[in-house]
Structure 1
């Protein structure tokens, strides 16, 4: 996986470039570090198209990319000295030119011999700024990309008009700890109605509610306060997280309201997530995302896994409600909810809904029937024939959760699933950031589809309204634990 040495190379170079005001170049190196993390995840998953020759080519690409970044850092640092060593500068310039030439050759070979892998793994050079020149970016949106280092955090704000960079004095270790605390406290509070946000002097408030308020407000102050002026006129905020921020639902970050309660970010803005701002990825999702009327739906629910404790009655009910709202929908339940039926259905429907057990981890899998051979993996997904009609894949997986990756979380688990589906034609994916029980998931999904069908909402609006409806309830389901983890990755219309 992406070693600490490699991480440090990119962190150092990005920080140096930003100090020198070279924000566009810094953004390009951030995207390189993202693509490396994704490649590691796909390689580890054992995708069959990665034979030994291809793996060797990808390894060489990564080695040259890291070497180029390291030499560039040394060169820029030397040039920035009051009295640079001109001989050293000259040697570094020559070495950098040769490394870039070798790097270009490998990149060209990958694009020619393995175009699918080249696009899938965001290797294609270029960033958001290339798309800006093509006027492809929605005018009502702001893209917010985070980059976290050992010393501080950078926030890139990108619109169809400008690129702005903000610096925040919060370290990687501090943010990792805050995100971990947030997730732990959210799960601890899952049985407490949210009308208890205000301080009532009780022990329950001090022990449970106040810790959540404090960590949510702190994270809002670090991550959203610095950009409030820049995003105030945007309808959509597209978040490109970094590291541990992939495990954080930005929709549940909050400011304290005037009456002592909480005002959540979801109450102010529409929110989506993106895998990266590389030109190849954005070309992919923006091309896929031409809005059409919702037509065909296929739904899989409560797969028969042969064990009573694995039965999901509410997921079956969820699928039947979808059938009721979309009478022409095709549904597969229990023994019919198989991987073979999923593969046969792929590409024929605009919405694909999976209500099952699953785990989004280093090697993601969705458990379809039959038990043992029904797991849908990254290999299966990327092996599907590209679909022209699929607008949305909904992973209503009651056991799905992003599993944090040790002390250096990367977020590649969710990104790899979203990127895999987008590579075979899906415009967007809805998934969960932690385990949510069967009943709560079913309730939220019913609201989501009702918003899509009856109110004609866009994907992000339908999900947001469903989450807001749950937030406004007076029972335990108003807690962020039940509605906040569901995120939309990709195209929002």
Structure 2
């Protein structure tokens, strides 16, 4: 376009002054110079964009020196007075540039220059009200200040970062979106927890630890349940996808060829179904009711504890720590195991349990590192354990102190965070009158069927066995019952935890569907495989059947941490229902009795009480 304009001017002068080149030439030279100058600016703009793209690529690949070289070239261009006048860069562009440039300098240990660049980034982010950048910049500045030993300044920056995150989080109204929102922000809370401990702000450290784990689940418990209403066309699409899932699963069960293709197809359809569920929720304005629930303070937690209870909350960050809360005291203990060792040993223990091979060596090593330092503060108390990270998968009852198993020493139940106490304590029932029992819907669990009949006899009810345990009947029959007992197959889907399920006679009862059940049960017993497992997010959210049943209306769920044995499980639960005491004590005694017949932890340590005891 510029060239066309210049050429037009030239022709105009030629036509008007055919032979007077002295008059024609100067305007032509001026126009040509303007054209070349403009072309140079356009080239600089293009060059700036390409350098930014290349610099960001180097940054994402952790090639920080190369990234800095590119960002330095961009900075020179954007600070050019003529360039700034003609192509003024946006606050978003400049804040993003200086943030990546500053962080690259920090990772190259050039801290002073990094701080200068990050403060420039913050200036543009604040001017443009770019809160999604502000929390990141404060976090990065905080890291530099902490490394320089300026701990109070680092604390202030981490706090500003978290305050912004909390404000942004409150704007996200759907549970799944809040989980996704937190995925790249958990590290700020981890840094803050350990900085607070360094500064002696132990109570604040606990508060930030609580904010970093299971917040969405806490808010689900604290929000009035709203049944999602889907438009007919979305409901039909949901049915179609569920039919697809069942058809592919049937092919996989039948062992037809092209297994890998079917697994890939199943993953694709599950992902599509996951997206549809979000679309249904977002389509229903009434669903936008997820309220913000603040975690409990230490004093508030102590108000919910009984005299004989101690809350043991773990936090696995830079290193594992334990917050120990009694009715009248609070302390923090650093665990003498590093994170990597804890992960490796937990994985080894689970593997050995599943193979039914020797476990006492690794079990004892974990006990000595994780529990032994805490023993003086735990003995004689009933434990409420709040795991974190890998510890959600650790079978605590299978730990061994060299003389006896953990379950023989301690009465323990588990929660996703301490703040759940305020909601679960309100839901427990003093009197149990009704029960609903499901047994062997798939017709291949002989002892599960025997178990279901005997459990039903104890409550004088008729169990749903085999073909009777159809999904529609189960959903309707479970309403209003005090006890729900499922003796059936369970399956955990690691990649798509909302598709973890109980297998019924005609269909699967998915996690996504359990959320919508209307329950008022005192306890749900899942005498099935892997029902206590869940998909773990960076926000320490455990998505699975346990969480779904608690959201559906029960304060207590008994579930398993691995694929369990049919016969020993049946015996364990018959002992549980014959026992005396509260739910946790009855489960504990049943496990101790079962280990006399089945010595290996595989047969008795897998079941855990989640929630209220």
Flag whether TM exceeds 0.5 (same fold): yes
1:161 matched to 2:328: yes
Deviations 1:52-107 (A, max 9, x none): 8859xxxxxxxxxxxxxxxxxxxxxxxxxxxxxxxxxxxxxxxxxxxxxxxxxxxx
Structure 1, unpaired ranges of 5+:
56-109, 191-207, 258-262, 305-309
**Counterpart Cα distance in 1 of 2:194 and 2:206:** 11
Matched with 2:607 is 486
Is the contact made by 2:385 and 2:414 (CA closer than 8 Å) also made in structure 1? yes
From the superposition, tell whether residues 426 and 228 of structure 1 become closer, same or farther in structure 2 (CA, over 3 Å). Answer: same
1:35 matched to 2:214: yes
Matched with 2:15 is none
Equivalent positions of 1:1-40 (< 5 A) are 5-35=184-214
Is the contact made by 2:219 and 2:293 (CA closer than 8 Å) also made in structure 1? no
Equivalent positions of 1:409-424 (< 5 A) are 412-413=541-542, 416-424=544-552
From the superposition, tell whether residues 376 and 47 of structure 1 become closer, same or farther in structure 2 (CA, over 3 Å). Answer: farther
Matched with 1:227 is 374
| Aligned equivalent of 1:248, options 391, 394, 407 | 394
Structure 2, unpaired ranges of 5+:
1-179, 222-269
SS at match of 1:478: coil
| Aligned equivalent of 1:394, options 503, 522, 525 | 525
Is the contact made by 2:482 and 2:523 (CA closer than 8 Å) also made in structure 1? yes
Structure index of larger Rg:
2
Give the count of matched residue pairs: 381
1:461 matched to 2:599: no
| Aligned equivalent of 1:180, options 344, 347, 352 | 347
Matched with 1:284 is 423
Is the contact made by 1:244 and 1:411 (CA closer than 8 Å) also made in structure 2? no
SS at match of 1:431: strand
Matched with 1:96 is none
Is the contact made by 1:131 and 1:137 (CA closer than 8 Å) also made in structure 2? no
Equivalent positions of 1:430-441 (< 5 A) are 430-441=558-569
Matched with 2:571 is 443
| Aligned equivalent of 1:343, options 461, 472, 475 | 475
Equivalent positions of 1:43-442 (< 5 A) are 46=274, 50-51=278-279, 114-115=288-289, 117-118=290-291, 123-129=292-298, 131-132=300-301, 135-149=303-317, 151-188=318-355, 190=356, 209=358, 212-234=359-381, 236-257=382-403, 263-278=404-419, 281-290=420-429, 292-304=430-442, 311-327=444-460, 329-361=461-493, 362-363=497-498, 364-370=500-506, 374-387=507-520, 390-398=521-529, 400=531, 402=533, 412-413=541-542, 416-442=544-570
**Counterpart Cα distance in 1 of 2:287 and 2:478:** 27
**Counterpart Cα distance in 1 of 2:197 and 2:450:** 52
Is the contact made by 1:275 and 1:418 (CA closer than 8 Å) also made in structure 2? no
Is the contact made by 2:313 and 2:322 (CA closer than 8 Å) also made in structure 1? yes
Name the structure with the higher strand share.
1
Deviations 1:447-466 (A, max 9, x none): 11111xxxx32111111111
State the 1:419 CA deviation.
3.0
**Counterpart Cα distance in 1 of 2:275 and 2:585:** 34
Deviations 1:388-436 (A, max 9, x none): xx1000001146573776xx898744x6433322223212000000001
From the superposition, tell whether residues 183 and 159 of structure 1 become closer, same or farther in structure 2 (CA, over 3 Å). Answer: same
SS at match of 1:34: coil
Matched with 1:196 is none
1:471 matched to 2:595: yes
**Counterpart Cα distance in 1 of 2:392 and 2:553:** 23
State the 1:5 CA deviation.
4.7
**Counterpart Cα distance in 2 of 1:130 and 1:169:** 27
SS at match of 2:562: coil
The answer to which structure, 1 or 2, has the higher relative contact order (CA under 8 A, 6+ apart) is 1
**Counterpart Cα distance in 2 of 1:427 and 1:41:** 13
Name the structure with the higher helix share.
2
**Counterpart Cα distance in 2 of 1:321 and 1:429:** 20
**Counterpart Cα distance in 2 of 1:409 and 1:482:** 31
From the superposition, tell whether residues 163 and 54 of structure 1 become closer, same or farther in structure 2 (CA, over 3 Å). Answer: farther
